[in-house]
Structure 1
Amino acid sequence: MGNLTHIHREIKLIRGQQVLLDFDLAKLYGVETRVLKQGVRRNSGRFPEDFMFQLTEVEYKSLTSQIVTSKGRGGLRYKPFAFTEQGVATLSSVLRSPQAIEMNILIMRAFVLLRRQLSEYSEIQERLDVLERDMNVKFKDIHEALKYLLQQEKKKLDQKQRKRIGYK
């Protein structure tokens, strides 16, 4: 489970998709990033845009401000590739080492775990929204009741303070 948690932390949300970056995948698979990219370029037909994409300049700058990527040689030379869950699954057919296959299984489990957690979060959020709506209705009812009681009290006070006509 420790490996699963580590992989889970490496998954990033970019363009509304859960992705793993090429240098993180290379680390997990035990290969150099250039070897991973080379394998992807040789099999580029297997990686359509919804499986893998290269980060834009803006995404890359945003990413480098969030994570430390420098290796003492000035950091990354090229914008990294981002692999979706389907891209990671396809990557296992490109990198055929036993470690890559084993790691690929763990990565798939991490994606499933993350999807399950997001689903649970959505359910909790939905329940909170329902509770909030119910509480708003109840608070509105309480507010109306208090307002009515204050008006009744004001009428009684006004009645006592009015100038009486007749016998004193």
Structure 2
Amino acid sequence: MKNIVYTILGSALLLIGCTEDYDLDDRGLSVEELPRYVAFSAPGASSSIAPVDTTEDGGSEELNVEVPGGTVTDITVNYTFSGTAVFGVDFTVDGATSAGGSVVILKPDGTPNLDGLAPNADIVVVLLTDDVVDGDKTLQVTLASATSNDGEIAVGRGGTDSLKTAVVNIEDIDE
């Protein structure tokens, strides 16, 4: 019985001692809250993603965009295309134009997210075989902006260029 009482008292003291006013500055440390952001998903704590290597006849590639901090509203993410791959000749993305497009990350529906993934959506790049010997191509998809009902949201990890651009290398299969 004593152990239970000591455990409860110890836990209470621990909780009372934890306040938001704990000053880290005098120890040479500072805590900064990162802005809410959208970025391409990367494994673990990686700050970059490896290029996707595929071929003209590779079918499609999914580029996953996520909101690591979560969201309570839908978020529209605008993206642009660049590189040597030509929209409509080497690739397409449903609903996009040669300049780029947008994808909507839906707010959670209230059910628990058991897989541990942040709210996310895919940009699906459909690869096209052009039957022309024209060499390998590169497609860069860059997150340009993001908005929700609450206003603008930073793009790239923590609002930086990290995880802001995904690269798809497309190998020419025609001989």
TM-score normalised over the length of structure 1? 0.29
* Structure richer in helix, relative to its length: 1
More relative contact order, 1 or 2 (CA 8 Å, 6+ apart): 2
